[in-house]
Amino acid sequence: MNDQRLEIYLNDHLALMVGEMQLAERSRGSNRGTPLGAFLWRLTRELEGQRSIVGDVLTRIGASESSLKQGVAWFAEKLGRLKLNDSLLSYSPLSRVLELEALAAAAQERIALWDTLDAIAGSDHRLDGITFSWFRDQSQEHLRELHTRRRYAAVLAFLEQPAASH
């Protein structure tokens, strides 16, 4: 096993998870009291669990988490808030669509992470006892739900008529 490459790979995915968790939390705050908000709460909790497993794998291979990469991901998510939507000062239906698209892209990356770890796990006893396919399946379910919610959000965002100006 090339531990150096695996450490880089895991830290890259860990940083992506940090950004994904930040985005899910922010989106949840803008969708409180809705079914989407409830889903985002569950997603965030499950992401915390997945993040913990990646940290465990790093420990098992004798590596550590990169606080630099995680900090960059945290900052990038904050910077991503500055994008222009159709509403400068408030949450917009377009914001919801873009957030769900970004979360879906991150879920796709997590599927690849868990699939990769599942593929190599049999070659390294240090990874014994972790059912990576379970996390892959969980991430695939996240992706399916994100796609469904994004489609619904897009219909609302693009078919909704703007309020008449006086």
Q: What pLDDT does residue 166 have?
A: 42
pLDDT band, residue 90 (cuts 50/70/90): low
On whether residue 119 sits in a domain, the answer given is yes
Contacts of residue 30, Cβ cutoff 8 Å, sequence gap at least 6: 91, 95, 96
Which residue has better confidence, 71 or 3?
3
Q: What pLDDT does residue 91 have?
A: 72
Please answer whether residues 77 and 21 qualify as being in contact, where contact means their C-beta atoms are separated by less than 8 angstroms.
no
In angstroms, the CA 142 to CA 90 distance is 27
Q: What pLDDT does residue 120 have?
A: 97
AA letter at 164: A
pLDDT tens digits along 28-64? 999 999 999 999 999 999 999 999 999 999 999 999 7
pLDDT tens digits along 59-81? 999 997 767 666 766 666 665 65
pLDDT tens digits along 91-141? 788 889 999 999 999 999 999 999 999 999 999 999 999 999 999 999 999
On whether residue 166 sits in a domain, the answer given is no
Which residue has better confidence, 113 or 19?
113
On whether residue 51 sits in a domain, the answer given is yes
In angstroms, the CA 40 to CA 48 distance is 12
How much is the pTM?
0.86
Please answer whether residues 91 and 18 qualify as being in contact, where contact means their C-beta atoms are separated by less than 8 angstroms.
no
On whether residue 165 sits in a domain, the answer given is no
Q: How many distinct structural domains can be found in the chain?
A: 1
Q: Cα dihedral sign for 81, 85, 88, 93? A: negative
In angstroms, the CA 127 to CA 117 distance is 9
- Classify residue 146 by its DSSP letter: H
On whether residue 154 sits in a domain, the answer given is yes
- Over pLDDT 90: what percentage of the chain? 74
Integer angstrom CA distances of residue 126 from 55, 63, 65:
13, 12, 17
The CATH number of the domain holding residue 18 is: 1.20.1260.10
On whether residue 164 sits in a domain, the answer given is no
- The range of the structural domain enclosing residue 155 comes to 3-159
Which residue has better confidence, 27 or 85?
27
Question: Which position has the token pair 């917009």?
Answer: 92
